[in-house]
Structure 1
């Protein structure tokens, strides 16, 4: 099968962050499928454009992986200035990716997959599906515009009205809709009127290949010594430092834990990172460490050298519907999870018995959870093992990637009956 993937935030090789489709496309290619990706030039968390793309509207990275080609499309560098700048960045990618899909992609494809947010990438998928007469699969990684409204990022009533209208429109036009959590599936079917047989569920998942490779060879003791982590109870957060993540709640907990050996390590970048660093400095939080984004393999080393992994989000109802992808990274590394996300993420961690839930934005409860972990340190290894085996059974990315393409094959076959 020949697959055209539209993914504004498809990662560069070695970039830190959500690598769901970097891994999916490699599995598909290994199965014999041919994949082309229309991607953006700006990293989703840093908002920065690498020098090699500056002054260019398109950049072809042929054979990015074996049998996976990537065409980078222009994205405005106004991305991190303010909301209007980010909105323009979204639409600049819509325009450039439509152009690339029409005039830079010369092969004939069988199906289009588009993954959101941003929601507006659906415009590209719809336009290309019309011109190329192809079915398209619309994937929902995050409920948008709900999440943007709940976090206060989206406030303009006209834009909100348009976003809801376009969401409904794109659901109708898509041949198939993939959701990443059971809560998304329920919401689409029960509240948004999407037909049940149109919705599939291929969730976020764990990358066991990288974790296994490191576990067999990684020297945790030396790494901890080299990074001044000895005699510390290390809690590592990996991911974006944005409004939705609300990492100030970890700083608030760290301030209350100054008299312990807890070290909270925050790896990544984002719109609020400078503000968070300044906040930690002003409070003299010696037990908080900021680490710039590192490649995925390096990220796993930090996780393996930690005592726990933290998954946290702002306390809003929309985030009760999501699985945090970093949770699966912790599980694949056999690390227990400190979870400050309610809803389906909490249900997952409790069912797998792989961590400690704390109420988001509740400093008392976050401190309570961390102290509980310290007091029961001997049990943490068991929690990590539980998470690993549960994820291995239910959230193995290789198996889910194969299931995904099987569902796509079904709609391809229907369109060719």
Structure 2
């Protein structure tokens, strides 16, 4: 099949952001499909292409598939109006590509949900079937956080209705996201969660710690976006409590976002000597940092909808790295941390309780045997349930079922 894969925020593992679409595109290409990945320029992403843009576009082969990249910068640190403009510019360029070439299937991976626009255009004007992948449910999450306005949420609701009702199938990253797809009229829904890259992250990776960190002290690492949705002020409050208790633990925040300047200023005001900020790291460098860490940190703002409507990449990275996890989430994440037959893989605390978060971190810092047991259970859970290679095979099966062979005109 000829597959057009639309993901505005695509990155290879050389970048500092999620690599799910890279893994899925590689798996499709390995099964003999001709895949074109269409993307923009996401902050922290590395597409694998080199050289300049010609008329705002460049393309070339990357890891067995074709990548088309447009010079459309986008990132979490940008104001909402500029990001919205980038979303619409990408949708326009992707729409032209969807209609300019022959495709058997379009895969539209959100966020942003505007990625559904070119898929809908190809379906309506050319009869090309499409899969719609929900990685973050819009407008459910923006509405829950009060981001945007009722007219914008109404428009996003109608777009979600159109995408879910007309897609051959909807792929959701969690059961909660599947429920939102069902509410928008999806007929066929498959839950295919984020997976663990067991080759990139794992116990065999050589550990690394950046200069300036205690060489023998314990590290708790948060690696991800630093925006309003992440609620990282809670980590600063917990760090202050740990510092007052003289806990031998340093918190490392890796990433950037709209909240980064405010967080840095507040950390300085609080005089936090046990907290460090690092710029976003390429995935391979992050894997080395996690190999040298003791605890993985998962944090989100105390929004009730987050309990079932999120599927953080970083949580999968921690499990693959064999780290015990401390999270301020209920719902799906808390159930995951409860573990299975090999025991719990972490500790879940209340969403807005810095004292409970500090206590959980301090308890793990004081108990190396418990940390090791949770870390072993985390890696075992990653291998048994969240292996990305197994999830990619299922993704390929869904794509192949979505586009039965179509007759082609014979050339004279």
Contact kept in structure 2, 1:151 and 1:314, CA below 8 Å: no
Equivalences for 1:220-231 in 2 at 5 Å?
Answer: 220=207, 223-224=208-209, 228-231=213-216
TM-score (structure 2 length as normaliser): 0.90
Encode CA deviations 1:43-69: one digit per residue, 9 max, x unaligned: 2x69xxx99667852121x11112x11
Equivalences for 1:323-362 in 2 at 5 Å?
Answer: 323-352=311-340, 353-362=344-353
The Cα RMSD (Å) is 2.3
Equivalences for 1:124-139 in 2 at 5 Å?
Answer: 124-139=118-133
Residues 331 and 111 of structure 1, relative CA distance in 2, 3 Å threshold:
same
Encode CA deviations 1:342-380: one digit per residue, 9 max, x unaligned: 211111111341001111221111112112212322111
Structure in which a larger fraction of residues adopt helix: 1
Equivalences for 1:14-413 in 2 at 5 Å?
Answer: 14-43=14-43, 56-60=55-59, 62-66=60-64, 68-75=65-72, 80-103=77-100, 106=101, 108-154=102-148, 156-189=149-182, 191-195=183-187, 198-212=188-202, 215-216=203-204, 218=206, 220=207, 223-224=208-209, 228-258=213-243, 259-321=246-308, 322-352=310-340, 353-413=344-404
Deviation at 1:235, TM superposition (A): 0.4
TM-score (structure 1 length as normaliser): 0.89
Contact kept in structure 2, 1:74 and 1:92, CA below 8 Å: no
Contact kept in structure 1, 2:196 and 2:317, CA below 8 Å: yes
Deviation at 1:273, TM superposition (A): 1.1
* Aligned partner of residue 72 in structure 2, secondary structure: coil
In structure 2, the gaps of 5 or more residues are: 408-412
In structure 1, the gaps of 5 or more residues are: none
* Aligned partner of residue 120 in structure 1, secondary structure: helix
Encode CA deviations 1:64-88: one digit per residue, 9 max, x unaligned: 112x111112426697442222211
Moved more, 177-186 or 78-87: 78-87
Encode CA deviations 1:18-55: one digit per residue, 9 max, x unaligned: 11111222222223222101101232x69xxx996678
Encode CA deviations 1:163-211: one digit per residue, 9 max, x unaligned: 111111111111110000122223433x44433xx10111100001112
Q: Distance in 1 between matches of 2:191 and 2:214?
A: 39
- In the alignment of these two chains, the number of paired residues is 398
